[in-house]
Copies of this chain bind each other. A is one copy, B any other.
Amino acid sequence: MDHVRVGLVGLGTVGTGVYKMLQENKDIITKKVGKEIRVEKILVRNKDKERDPEIPSELITFDPGDILENDDIDIVIEVMGSVELAMDYIKRALSAKKQVITANKDLIALHEEELSELAHLNGRDLYFEASVAGGIPIIGTLKEDLAGNKIRKIMGIINGTTNYILTKMTKEGKSYEEVLKDAVALGYAESDPTADVEGLDAARKIAILGTIAFDTKITFNDVYVEGITKITKDDIKYADELGYIVKLLGIGMNVDDKAEARVHPVFISKDHPLAAVNDVFNAIFVEGNAVGETMFYGRGAGELPTASAVIGDLMKATRDFINDTMGSSYRKIVKRKEIKDISEVDTAFYTRMKVKDIPGVFAKIATVFGDHGVSIALVRQQYRDDSGVAEIVLVTHKVQEKNVRDSLAAIEKLDVVEKVTSVIRVEEGKR
């Protein structure tokens, strides 16, 4: 065969981007892989939906078997989304000995291991670079270029919507609700923003990243998740005064052969490279025992950045197809890492509480922390209103999370304490 035959499953934003980029960059792609890569069939569901006029209508099919079980298709690209149906389609494609590329984060965050094993059994590869931060080639980098490193930490801004919201809150001093309304109006947030603002989207991505970085299995269900909906203007103001920025991070750690996987807002030092990543941009910070600290920055989503990731994978899959070295990307998990419960994780905390404005209050609070083994790094008690209520802002040293939770539960019961208003983890101290 003088060309490689691709079946595209799905023709939404990403599918259209993939098709267009394959045309626009055909010359360099053909030269680099040695053969032309040609889209032969495109599976769509909705017969009536208007399609980009650049897409030739003779490629369109409504029958999945036309691609998945078609002997004249070598490689399948799944960009339709959803979990169950895409799972079924990818299984069929692998069983029919196709190389498979997917951009499906929801699916990979749940079923990567099963699908990779099925690919392996069939002597084929499953590629999924586009499932995490399309414009950042992190999975290929972890699997290849940084493969000789033991990765201790992978941590990133991996959701554009929440980074946009936090950036606006920080730069314009607006409330979460105000900025969210603007973001929806501008199309930076969906009208139902739950998956983004509650951290679910980031949780899927950190599950995938942790799986690759630590060579183990972490699924979406293993990730501790907290979103940004409770972040207030005051928290952002205090963060600034203390030398921090508030960001929503996905964090994976690999310490003593136990893994951590969590998504939550953090105070991060202003001089950390992640602190300067603003608006809808994403960035992923990786710490390896040889490479040291490194960071990868780019667009997390969008038609063309995601197409870039799909096409990078497609070129790898094609090269293996042409050289008959398919199946070589498989990594068997030899040793599964236990995943720590959030209560066992070590972090520092920022907390803010309303207390009675009378002498001796702080001593009582400090005693509770001390009794729980929590040591205090910094305290401020300067902002008072005239209602007899004072505010205490406090940052702890790093300690097991359980101890902080127990302390705060006890502190909330003190009669001098009206309310603990904020609890946010401090991820990276000053550099």
Contacts and interface: CB of A to CB of B under 8 A. Distances in A.
Interface of A: 17, 21, 24-25, 28-29, 31-32, 129, 134-137, 140-141, 144-150, 215, 273, 276-277, 288-299, 302, 304-305, 307-309, 311-312, 314-316, 319, 323, 325, 328, 331, 334
Contacts of A294: 135-137, 296-299
Given A21-B148, A295-B297, A296-B297, 13 more contacts: A25-B148, A25-B289, A32-B147, A129-B145, A135-B292, A137-B291, A137-B294, A140-B145, A147-B312, A292-B308, A293-B298, A295-B296, A296-B296
Given A21-B148, A144-B312, A315-B148, A304 B292 contact: yes
Contact of A308 (B28, B290, B334): B290
A148 to B, nearest CB: 3
29 contacts: A21-B148, A25-B149, A25-B289, A28-B148, A28-B150, A28-B215, A29-B148, A129-B145, A135-B292, A135-B294, A137-B144, A137-B146, A137-B291, A137-B294, A140-B144, A146-B308, A149-B308, A289-B304, A290-B305, A290-B311, A291-B309, A292-B299, A292-B304, A292-B305, A293-B298, A294-B298, A297-B297, A323-B325, A325-B325
Contacts of A311: 147-148, 290
A290 B146 contact: no
Contacts of A291: 134-135, 137, 298-299, 304-305, 308-309
